[in-house]
């Protein structure tokens, strides 16, 4: 595979994928929206803001602040921009695209729209020059810091065009990063969204020292919530128990490397999400996706009690203890019934 690739977004994950591909010998251009941050990376050969200590001094990697240049350079564009910024960014991107280009999304979120949809559906509408067969998504238990340290990891790439998926699989896979293919575009995307919300809840529990019993129960009940929406939206149950579902859920709920888990621990201290954003600039997809996720649940008549309580805590100021009490005192049911 001889694609030239531009990665749009130089956060930790975008930078890590840029490093991985350029180490493999691919021509890579990493696009950073802010000129000062771009200059820092060009000068220091390091993304000191999002991936400190990891060298970007690689002959096949270039870094640019010029979006026209980045799009013109690439056969394959990799989107690594937080979902809350995509609605403003995609109209800038659309007129620059060529019909021959393909897009791989690394985004695990939902655009903030009145009628929310999964991201690949939004990309198809907002980037009309790109066909459905040229779109794919990558998801899995992938902490950027570990992959940048060449620790072993696995992921899954999903889309509708099998030859394209197989080409991406070969292009992305290394001795340290193993990529699988999956046709379940709905399930793979939902897994990446839902697990982030459950991870926020796990961080809240750890921040409140609620113990392993509670956290284990939360993860299992989280799987149940994920399953309900998977089925309602046409996803496959087997995807739920794969890398983008259970695999990503376990990692995100148990590791301090998880930004969503970390955000939950901060909420447990009484720090509001507005304050977190103001003081750290952190993007937490598990929180940003909540309004759209609950709208999807309403559309498909699915109950997501954990997600709803996290929304109530973050956006309505509900007390954490009261939310836990309300979850614990819901109507008693059989586990078999709850799994339906």
Active site residues: 195
**Cα 12 from Cα 65, distance rounded (Å):** 17
Q: Are 33 and 86 in contact (CB under 8 A)?
A: no
SS3 54: strand
The total of other beta-carbon atoms located within 10 Å of residue 305's CB is 14
Partnered with residue 222 across adjacent β-strands are none
Sheet strands (E) in 89-210: 102-105, 135-139, 153-159, 177-182
Residue 105: name the closest of 43, 35, 156 by CA: 156
Q: CA-CA distances (angstroms) from residue 29 to 10, 119, 120, 122? A: 10, 23, 23, 25
Q: Which residue has the tokens 């690689």?
A: 58
Number of helical H runs and strand E runs in the chain: 18, 10
241 φ, ψ (degrees, to nearest 5): -95, 15
Residue 308, token pair as written in the block: 């709803």
Sheet strands (E) in the chain: 4-8, 27-31, 46-47, 51-55, 61-64, 76-79, 102-105, 135-139, 153-159, 177-182
Q: Are 93 and 127 in contact (CB under 8 A)?
A: yes
């Amino acid at each position: 595979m001889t694609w030239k690739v531009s990665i749009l977004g130089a956060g930790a994950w975008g930078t890590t994928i840029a490093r991985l591909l350029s180490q493999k010998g691919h021509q890579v251009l990493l696009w950073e929206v802010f000129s000062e941050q771009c200059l820092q990376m060009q000068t220091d050969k390091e993304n000191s803001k999002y991936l400190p200590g990891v060298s970007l001094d690689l002959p096949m990697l270039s870094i640019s602040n010029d979006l026209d240049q980045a799009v013109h350079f690439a056969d394959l564009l990799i989107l690594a921009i937080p979902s809350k910024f995509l609605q403003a960014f995609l109209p800038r991107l659309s007129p620059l695209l060529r019909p021959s280009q393909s897009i791989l999304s690394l985004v695990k979120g939902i655009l903030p729209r009145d009628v929310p949809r999964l991201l690949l559906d939004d990309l198809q509408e907002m980037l009309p020059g790109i066909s459905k067969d040229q779109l794919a998504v990558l998801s899995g238990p992938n902490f950027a810091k570990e992959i940048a340290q060449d620790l072993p990891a696995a992921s899954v790439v999903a889309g509708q065009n099998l030859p394209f998926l197989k080409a991406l699989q070969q292009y992305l896979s290394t001795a340290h990063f193993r990529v699988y293919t999956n046709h379940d575009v709905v399930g793979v995307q939902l897994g990446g969204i839902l697990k982030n919300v459950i991870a926020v809840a796990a961080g809240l529990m750890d921040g409140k020292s609620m113990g392993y019993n509670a956290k284990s129960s939360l993860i299992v009940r989280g799987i149940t919530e994920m399953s309900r929406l998977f089925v309602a939206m046409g996803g496959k149950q087997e995807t739920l128990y794969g890398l983008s579902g259970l695999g990503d859920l376990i990692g995100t709920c148990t590791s301090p490397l998880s930004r969503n888990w970390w955000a939950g621990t901060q909420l447990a201290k009484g720090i509001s999400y507005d304050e977190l954003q103001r003081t750290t600039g952190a993007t937490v997809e598990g929180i940003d996706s909540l309004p759209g996720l609950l709208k999807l649940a309403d559309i498909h008549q699915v109950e997501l009690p954990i997600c709803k309580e996290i929304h109530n805590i973050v956006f309505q100021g509900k007390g954490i203890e009261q939310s836990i009490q309300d979850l614990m005192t819901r109507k008693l049911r059989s586990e078999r019934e709850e799994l339906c």
